[in-house]
């Protein structure tokens, strides 16, 4: 069975199969000197003085409004848990193809899916192998490598704790009660999808793409990566390359945050580019409501004339299905429910 990793390991590639050649790969723009990626000191949120806490909540609100993206430092996920998670996921991809094969050709809501990025309608492949695991409210894990279960369970639990604290801060930044999002979105029983992306070195990085421009479906995505950069986000109409600090967690707003906040906090469009030197590994957890929850703009954020509801209600499950069939085309999925 075919994977990008398998293709690269077969021999010294000097070109790439035509299905990987993209008509256009958006070029990154230089991050201008005045633009600094928002950095959030998580410890000030959880154990800062009241003033520090208010300031950081304000900064999270600004980051959501102006970027839809920020970098969290001094958070509560131990470095060892992050390092072990990166190692365990790398070991998963190192398994023989037939060992990973049982997770291939699976459907969206199957507990575990392994594969290579492909856009059926465009008949194009992306330079990325992935593993997607539904880890909450029901925990799942591939049974190999043996350490994967325990490590991913710990990492995903820690990621949920960070997300939940961020949901509190975001609720307050919107003038809502602290528990608003956690309660309204039933986060305690909510959906958490683990997405691991492997981008092997690509001999023609300028004409291939790891992940094309898209926004994420959930409320928030938390992302960690190995030391290799490749994530780019759109900010003020330009592509900005993100080089995170070691041990930080990148956070971005997803489509459901945009729906719930009635467009006050928009989901951010991002992509993953590839390089010809080193393998990049990224681990995302998408945090969303319960699958059968119908999400619509929060009534508190809808106001007749000035803020009419901008999106119709849709269940998270249905939204994920629509997004899957839309195959990662910018924010086209959200356009379908825009009023
Ligand atoms: O690899 C990355 O940095 C981005 C991954 C991503 O956007 C996704 O999995 O949705
Ligand atoms: Fe994404």
Give Cα 48 to chain centroid, integer Å: 28
Report how far ligand 2's centroid is from the alpha carbon of 43 (Å). Answer: 26
Query: Mutate which of 195, 222, 329 to test ligand 1's pocket (most atoms within 8 Å of Cβ)?
Result: 195
Which ligand 1 atom is nearest residue 195's CA? 9
C-alpha dihedral (147, 151, 152, 153), degrees to nearest 10: 110
Compute how many other C-beta atoms are within 10 angstroms of the C-beta atom of residue 319: 24
Protein residues whose CB sits closer than 6 Å to any atom of ligand 1: 195, 197, 211, 216, 223, 230-231, 270, 272, 282, 284
Handedness of CA 153, 159, 165, 169 (dihedral sign): negative
Phi, psi of 330 (to 5 degrees): 50, -125
Compute how many other C-beta atoms are within 10 angstroms of the C-beta atom of residue 242: 19
Which ligand 1 atom is nearest residue 270's CA? 7
Give Cα 35 to chain centroid, integer Å: 22
- Per residue in 40-70, pLDDT (tens digit) is 999 999 999 999 999 999 999 999 999 999 9
Report how far ligand 2's centroid is from the alpha carbon of 150 (Å). Answer: 25
DSSP state of 58: H
| CATH assignment of 4-9+20-335, among 1.50.10.20, 2.60.120.330, 3.40.190.10, 1.20.58.1610 | 2.60.120.330
Which ligand 1 atom is nearest residue 250's CA? 3
Query: Mutate which of 116, 221, 232 to test ligand 1's pocket (most atoms within 8 Å of Cβ)?
Result: 221
For residue 145, cis peptide bond before it (omega within 30 degrees of 0): yes
Q: Cα(86)–Cα(88) distance, rounded to whole angstroms?
A: 6
CB of 322 within 8 A of CB of 333? Answer: yes
Token readout for 225 is 């990566």
Which ligand 1 atom is nearest residue 199's CA? 1
Report how far ligand 1's centroid is from the alpha carbon of 197 (Å). Answer: 7
Phi, psi of 135 (to 5 degrees): -110, -5
Distances (CA, A) of 85 to 150, 184, 304: 10, 30, 47
Given a cut of 70, whether residue 26 has pLDDT beyond it is no
Distances (CA, A) of 241 to 28, 178, 273: 7, 32, 9
Burial of 314 (0-12, 13-18, 19+ CB in 10 A): buried
Distances (CA, A) of 142 to 14, 99, 112, 161, 289: 34, 10, 7, 23, 24
Query: 3-class DSSP state for residue 281?
Result: strand
For the chain, give every domain's residue range: 4-9+20-335
- Per residue in 11-22, pLDDT (tens digit) is 778 888 888 888
Helix (H) or strand (E) holding 39: strand 39-41
Question: pLDDT tier at 250 (50, 70, 90 boundaries)?
Answer: very high
Q: Is the confidence metric ipTM above 0.95 for this complex?
A: yes
- Per residue in 277-317, pLDDT (tens digit) is 999 999 999 999 999 999 999 999 998 788 899 999 999 99
Q: Cα(43)–Cα(47) distance, rounded to whole angstroms?
A: 6
Quick check: pTM over 0.90?
Answer: yes
Closest ligand to C-alpha of residue 254 is 2
More confident site: 224 or 326: 224
Q: Cα(135)–Cα(112) distance, rounded to whole angstroms?
A: 9
């Amino acid at each position: 069975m075919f994977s990008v990793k398998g293709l690269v390991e077969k021999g010294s590639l000097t070109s790439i199969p035509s299905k990987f050649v993209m008509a256009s790969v958006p070029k990154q723009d230089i991050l201008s000197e005045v633009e600094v990626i928002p950095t959030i000191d998580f410890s000030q949120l959880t154990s800062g003085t009241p003033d520090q806490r208010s300031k950081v909540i304000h900064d999270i609100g600004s980051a959501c409004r102006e970027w839809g993206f920020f970098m969290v430092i001094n958070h509560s996920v131990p470095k060892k848990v992050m390092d072990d998670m990166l190692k365990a996921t790398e070991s998963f991809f190192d398994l023989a193809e037939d060992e990973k094969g049982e997770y291939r050709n699976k459907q969206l809501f199957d507990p575990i899916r392994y594969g290579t990025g492909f856009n059926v309608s465009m008949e194009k492949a992306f330079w990325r192998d992935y593993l997607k695991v539904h880890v909450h409210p029901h925990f799942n894990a591939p049974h190999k490598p043996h350490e994967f279960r325990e490590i991913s369970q710990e990492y995903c639990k820690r990621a949920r704790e960070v997300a939940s604290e961020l949901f509190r801060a975001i609720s307050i930044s919107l003038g809502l009660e602290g528990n608003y999002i956690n309660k309204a979105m039933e986060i305690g029983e909510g959906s958490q999808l683990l997405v691991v992306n492997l981008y092997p070195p690509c001999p023609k990085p300028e004409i291939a793409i790891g992940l094309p421009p898209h926004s994420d479906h959930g409320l928030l995505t938390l992302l960690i990566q190995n030391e290799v950069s490749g994530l780019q986000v759109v900010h003020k109409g330009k592509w900005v390359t993100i080089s995170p600090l070691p041990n930080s967690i990148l956070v971005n707003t997803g489509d459901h945050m945009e729906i719930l906040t009635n467009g006050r906090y928009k989901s951010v469009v991002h992509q993953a580019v590839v390089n010809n030197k080193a393998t990049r590994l990224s681990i995302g957890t998408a945090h969303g409501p319960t699958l059968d929850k119908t999400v619509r703009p929060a009534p508190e954020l809808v106001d007749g004339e000035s803020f009419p509801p901008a999106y119709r209600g849709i269940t998270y499950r249905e939204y994920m299905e629509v997004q899957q069939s839309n195959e990662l085309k910018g924010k086209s999925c959200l356009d379908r429910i825009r009023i």
